[in-house]
Amino acid sequence: MSNITAIVAEADTTVRVESPLYHANLPELAKKNLQGEVVLREKALLGHLVLRGNVANELFAKTVAKILGVELPTAACSSVENNQVLVQWLAPDEWLIITESGKEEALQAQLREQLTGHYSLVDVSGGQTVLALSGPKAEMVLRKSCHYDLHPSSLPTGKCVGTNLAKTTVLLRRTGADSFELVVRRSFADYVWMWLQDASREYGLVIEK
């Protein structure tokens, strides 16, 4: 029994956290593809929290705003952000909160400590990732990949929509005139990555770290 205990004690208990696209070796690709009109970067290992609650409840809304530093967006498909968090509207009672890697646990603890009543808070950090797509032809890549109207009048900066990209779903947000972010489920990250590679081929794809 003592030998078994010793072996367990000596076992490596380090948990290796990996991005869904770690195997694509994006840092190495970033050294090779230096020219192109589409730029792709994985914003890997960010903290993702899904919060549900009644924003009409003044105590709930004020408590969340105090902790996040921004008020929850209430307009459909809107988002708000500061230098700590990005909050995207998912439904009238549901929001996706994205924060820096490693800060999600403390943020979740704060919310759980101060919120009362009926609410739901789930850490989905390991289940999805964020891809940033930019460049003069980024919109063209998305136009031939999803059916949503990407004209700035329909998708202005800051608007986020759940839509299809090829044969999967993403949360798409315009971040600038020629820049977008896609929240992708972990199980579809490979598929989306390969699709975007192919869809960008005619324009040239640059990988950023």
For the stretch 91-108, pLDDT in tens is 999 999 999 999 999 999
What average pLDDT does this structure show over 114-124?
97
Q: Assign a CATH topology to domain 22-207.
A: Gyrase A; domain 2 (3.30.1360)
Residue labelled with tokens 């902790």: 67
The pLDDT, as a whole number, for residue 3 is 53
d(CA 199, CA 139): 11
What average pLDDT does this structure show over 19-34?
71
Structure tokens belonging to residue 54: 């009644």
What average pLDDT does this structure show over 153-178?
97
The pLDDT, as a whole number, for residue 73 is 98
State percent of the chain over pLDDT 90.
Answer: 81
The pLDDT, as a whole number, for residue 35 is 83
Residue labelled with tokens 């919060």: 51
pTM of the model: 0.89
Closest CA to 154 of 144, 143, 145, 141: 143
203: pLDDT strictly greater than 60: yes
Sheet holding 94-99, edge to edge: 79-81, 85-91, 94-99, 47-52, 120-123
